[in-house]
Amino acid sequence: MSYTYEYPRPMLCVDIAIIATDTKEILLIKRKNEPFQDSWALPGGFLDMDETLDNAAYRELEEETSVRNIKLHRFKVYDEPKRDPRGRTISMVYVGKEIKQNIFAKAGDDAAEAMFFSLTALPKLAFDHNKIVQDIITKHC
């Protein structure tokens, strides 16, 4: 027997902030697709139905930036109802820290570019990522 749930459900996603501790920079991706095509953003994406949030964070980071082997820590949940024009999304944000020479980033998947930016000279970011990055700077830098 199949069960149908009658209430709308939000989409779950992960966003990942990789901080180069020695240079005080953050790794961003340029979005290849809409929404916010050609805008800079944190790497991230949607949770697959068969994975945990932690696994999704590591998967999305590797898919979009080729970065792996960096320990990620849960930072904070962002759940403003209008944070994504595609619909209701809730994001678990992760932070990873490493010295820059150990971070080998290359754009992949739906990222057109992957590049480090100074935490004091950030571009305008997609979605609510400016707020997220400012919260991370306040707490971690």
Task: Give catalytic residue positions.
Answer: 113
Q: Cβ of 56: how many Cβ atoms within 10 Å?
A: 21
Determine the longest span between alpha carbons in the chain, in angstroms. 57
Strands 25-31 and 11-20: antiparallel
Q: Cβ of 7: how many Cβ atoms within 10 Å?
A: 4
- Sign, Cα dihedral of 34, 120, 140, 81: negative
